[in-house]
Chain A
Amino acid sequence: MRRIISLLLENESGALSRVAGLFSARGYNIESLTVAPTEDPTLSRMTIVTRGSDSIIEQITKQLNKLVDVVKLIDLTEGQHIERELMLVKVVAHGNDEREEVKRLVDIFRGRIIDVTDSTYTLEMTGNGDKVDAFILALGQVEIIEVVRSGISGIGRGKRALKV
């Protein structure tokens, strides 16, 4: 099962490596991991996407909670939540036809073109993981130069919040 685990951790040097080290040492899988400071500069928020059976996920959350730097944690996938990922894609865009085709696709997916040269477009796209995957598939014939994905960020719906 795919799970999105959100955690608040002390904004201390080394906190990220404790989390990353835990996953590698215990052989847990990480699909993506994002981390950045929050509105409270002493806290960072991390979102981890992982996969595993229920018992593995239970161990993962327990082991994360055990880390001294981890203040609070929720498994977003246990309730209603929203997930978003930011993707930047640079594609080859020569000639009118090709450029029009890319533009149309970007519109359909509600993305944006954020940089243009005479031979490339750089596209920006946000959405959940599936949408971002679907966009890459949709690009089809278009030649991709590079793809940058932020990894998933997630938040609970409604009043559901991860706060200290």
Chain B
Amino acid sequence: MQLTGADIVVRCLQDEGIEYIFGYPGGAALHIYDALYKQDKVKHILVRHEQGATHMADGYARATGKAGVVLVTSGPGVTNTVTGIATAYMDSVPMVVLTAQVPSHLIGDDAFQEVDTVGITRPCVKHNFLVGDVNKLAETMKKAFYIAESGRPGPVVVDIPKDVTAKVAEYHYPEVVDMRSYQPRTRGHIKQISRGLDLLVQAKRPVVYTGGGVVLGDGSAPLRKVVSKLGFPSTSTLMGLGAIPHDDPNFLGMLGMHGTYEANMAMHQCDVMFAIGARFDDRVTGELSKFAPDARIIQIDIDPSSIGKNVPVEVPIVGDCGQVLEQMLEQLDARLGEIDRTVVGEWWAQVDKWRAVKSLDYQPSKDKIVPQLVVERLMQITDGEAFVSSDVGQHQMWAAQYYGFSKPRRWINSGGLGTMGFGLPAAMGIQLAYPDDTVICISGDASIQMCLQELSTCLQYELPVKIINLNNQYMGMVRQWQEFFYDRRYSHSYMDALPDFVKLSESYGHVGIRVEDPADLDEALNRAFSMKDRLVFVDVITDPTVNVYPMIAAGKGHNEMHLQPDQEEHQERELA
């Protein structure tokens, strides 16, 4: 069948089973937009800013595991997507970004709305293509989806010059692709897995440290089995929350800069560390020279370059976290008897002492709303079942600490790049994927203003996201660092002249609720969640002085945490 390049693009999306694409039109993309107009299988979500499109596709992808798709025009359309592409890249999110390009004969001419898309995006994509020939278009589209979704997932850009979308070619969408240069390995090496088990069963002070790779590799189910059979203390990074249920007795909570005392102390004092789909990021390890001094490390990762990158690893296992854990389960039962339960029991006794510090306890207040309480109430109201997206800052940490996640793919935030503005559009992508579920965006007064224009998109597509704006009138996380490390010189972190968020939401056609008095909090939240079909923006005025604890300052080790001010005394006794 002979089709134009534009029709081929759309047919590829249909044949790939794509439900939604997120986009914004412009000159170079108009042939493709015309092709979209002629069909209704692929639904196009018209955003208000291309950055929003990328975060929506990203949220959709993180919630479903399928690649999110973006379509933008050349030049400024492309440059506006870069933040979102980099966000997806840092968190290994599958995404295909179709970028229109000026006609082939104008490339390199400084033509109107020309940028070197392939060049600009190269450092923040898994791969990118410039399609020079309409006959290669369908194959390139297939490769793009294959590369984005397989191996360690990531964003792929397909740059398509306008003339290529006008030319005609025979359409054939390949079922599979075979690339000699790209063959990700998903199964783990059996010998390495047994070597890993050798270490695990001999451990005296073991800890399981899991990350986003478990979520991406759909490894939550086998992980739960492995952890419960081992019976070892387990912790998760920010990106891995939900893979193990928050209330699993083996789970110590999140680790890292704002992780729990017990998780970080267990990491510090362990003798065997089992890292699964976690990449030893600096926010997790703290000062590397002080990191887990006694640990012998087993690491599963699908990306060999993530293994041993920051910390030497004794047993590397390359493979998909889910598959390797399944493989491990096949050998596990036979080995469990080798574990010395008395020794591990002593270790647990120590871990429980750290737990007893209750490092997440916080000071309640009668006259000001405490942000941690808001997140706890959100969890109760939604039975811990909501999808929660967040922006970046204190509110993000509180969301991670106090909304107990029980399922993977429910907690969706920008961990690697830390992109303010991510929360709302990501929530929209999730809501499209799961129209009947509750989707909450926990944000801050600074972050929410970075992609606020998408409130308009929410109205157009009736997306009933619940925005909880923890409004402390500051860039709280910046203020906190300035309080701790810059002698309270609050340089440019006060958000003066904030908009009236209630009126603002109303002007976009949504419901706005402001709540200032702790006594009104529950009612406000209940009212918001009772409006199932409406976007509700709850502007919660919180105590601006609250800080995120516990905390490991830059340059410090896991055993040098700051607890809540009134808990520090306990810690001093403990460490003495």
Contact surface of A with B, Cβ cutoff 8 Å: 9-10, 13-14, 17-18, 21, 25, 55, 58-59, 62-63, 65-66, 68-71, 164
CA distance A51 to B128 in the complex (A): 29
Bound-complex Cα distance A71 to B179 (A):
9
B residues in contact with A68, CB < 8 Å: 126-127, 147, 179, 181-182
Which A residues touch B305, using CB under 8 A?
A: 59, 62-63, 65-66
A66 CA to B154 CA, complexed, in Å: 12
Contact of B524 with A by CB under 8 A: no
| Extra 10 A-B pairs, beta carbons < 8 Å, given A59-B305, A62-B304 | A10-B181, A14-B122, A14-B128, A18-B122, A62-B305, A63-B305, A66-B304, A66-B305, A68-B182, A71-B181
Contact (Cβ within 8 A) A17 B304: no
- Provide 12 A-B residue pairs closer than 8 Å at the C-beta atoms, listed in order of the A residue: A13-B130, A14-B122, A17-B119, A18-B122, A25-B123, A55-B312, A63-B305, A66-B305, A68-B126, A68-B127, A68-B182, A71-B181
Chain B residues, CB < 8 A from A10: 181
Report the minimum CB–CB distance from A163 to chain B (whole Å).
12
Q: Within 8 Å CB of B7, what residues of A?
A: none
Closest A-chain residue to B306, C-beta based? Answer: A62
Q: Give the distance in Å from the alpha carbon of A15 to the alpha carbon of B309 in the complex.
A: 24
Residue numbers in A under 8 Å from B147 (CB-CB): 68
Q: Are A14 and B304 in contact, with the CB atoms below 8 A? A: no
Complex Cα spacing A25 to B180, Å: 26
Q: Please, which residue of chain B has its CB at the minimum distance from the CB of A69?
A: B181
B308 contacts A58, C-beta separation under 8 Å: yes
The answer to whether A70 and B122 have CB atoms under 8 Å apart is no
Q: Is B123 within 8 A of A70, CB to CB?
A: no
CB distance from A73 to the nearest CB of B (A): 11
B496 CB to nearest chain A CB (Å): 38
Chain B min CB distance to A70 (Å): 6
Contact A70 B181 (CB under 8 A): yes
What is the chain A residue whose CB lies nearest that of B143?
A: A68
With a CB–CB cut-off of 8 A, which chain B residues contact A65?
304-305
Bound-complex Cα distance A65 to B152 (A): 13
The complex places the Cα of A25 from the Cα of B121 at a distance, in Å, of 13
Q: Would you call B130 and A14 a contact (CB within 8 A)?
A: yes
Task: Flag if B130 contacts A164 (CB, 8 Å).
Answer: no
Q: Which residue of chain A lies nearest to B184 when distances are taken between CB atoms in the complex? A: A66
The docked-state distance in angstroms from the alpha carbon of A58 to that of B130 is 31
Q: Find chain B residues with CB under 8 A from A17 CB.
A: 119, 122
The minimal Cβ–Cβ distance linking A131 to chain B, given in whole angstroms, is 35
Top 4 A-B pairs, shortest CB-CB distance: A62-B305, A68-B127, A71-B181, A68-B182
B262 at the interface (CB under 8 A from A): no
> Judging by beta carbons under 8 Å apart, are B303 and A66 in contact?
yes
- Asked if B127 and A71 make an inter-chain contact with CB atoms under 8 angstroms apart, the answer reads no
Q: Is B379 located at the chain interface by the 8 A CB criterion?
A: no
Docked pose: A21 CA to B303 CA in angstroms = 19
**Is the C-beta of B118 less than 8 angstroms from some C-beta in chain A?**
yes
Distance (whole angstroms) from the CB of B116 to the closest CB of chain A: 10
Contact B304 A21 (CB under 8 A): no
A55–B179 Cα gap in the complex (Å)? 29
Question: Closest CB-CB distance, B142 to chain A, in whole Å?
Answer: 14
The CA of A30 and the CA of B336, in the complex, are separated in Å by: 49
**CB nearest to A63 among chain B residues:** B305
* A69 shortest CB reach to chain B, Å: 6
Is A14 a contact partner of B181 (Cβ separation < 8 A)?
no
Identify the closest chain A residue to B309 (Cβ).
Answer: A59
Partner of A71, one of B180, B309, B312: B180
For residue A45, give the distance in angstroms from its CB to the closest CB of chain B. Answer: 14
Contacts of A14 in B (CB 8 A): 118, 122, 128, 130
Whole-angstrom CA separation of A63 from B308 in the bound complex: 13
Question: Is the Cβ of B181 less than 8 Å from the Cβ of A9?
Answer: yes
Chain B residues with Cβ below 8 Å from A13 are: 130
B148: min CB distance to chain A, Å: 11
A residues near B182, Cβ cutoff 8 Å: 68
**A55 CB contact (under 8 Å) in B118, B119, B127, B308:** B308
Output the nearest chain B residue to A164 by Cβ-Cβ distance.
Answer: B180
Chain A residues, CB < 8 A from B119? 17
Residues of A within 8 A of B127 (CB): 68
Tell me the minimal C-beta distance from A120 to chain B in angstroms: 37
Say whether A21 contacts B180, CB under 8 Å. Answer: no
CB-nearest residue of chain A to B124: A25
CA distance A148 to B147 in the complex (A): 40
Cβ distance A141 to chain B, nearest Cβ, rounded Å: 46
B159 to chain A, nearest CB (A): 10
Could you tell me the distance in whole angstroms from the C-beta of A44 to the nearest C-beta in chain B? 12
Contacts of A62 in B (CB 8 A): 304-305
The CA-CA distance from A25 to B303 in the complex, in Å, is 18
With A and B bound together, what is the CA distance between A90 and B126 in angstroms? 44
* Complex partner residue of A21 from B123, B130, B181, CB under 8 angstroms: B123
Closest to A15 in B: B181
**Known interface pairs A10-B181, A66-B305, A68-B181. Does A21 touch B122 (Cβ–Cβ under 8 Å)?**
yes
Q: How far apart are the CA atoms of A32 and B118 in the complex, in Å?
A: 25
Question: How distant is the Cα of A70 from the Cα of B304 in the complex, in angstroms?
Answer: 15
Within 8 A of A (CB), among B83-133: 118-119, 122-123, 126-128, 130
Residue ID in chain B nearest A14 by CB atoms: B118
Nearest residue (CB) in A for B119 is A17
Minimum Cβ distance to chain B for residue A155 (Å): 21
Give Cα A5 to B179, complex, Å: 22
Tell me how far the C-beta of A127 lies from the nearest C-beta in chain B, rounded to whole angstroms.
Answer: 33
A9, A17, A62, most chain B CB atoms within 10 A: A62
Q: CB-CB < 8 A to A18: which residues of B?
A: 122
Q: Which residues of chain A have C-beta atoms less than 8 A from B303's C-beta?
A: 66
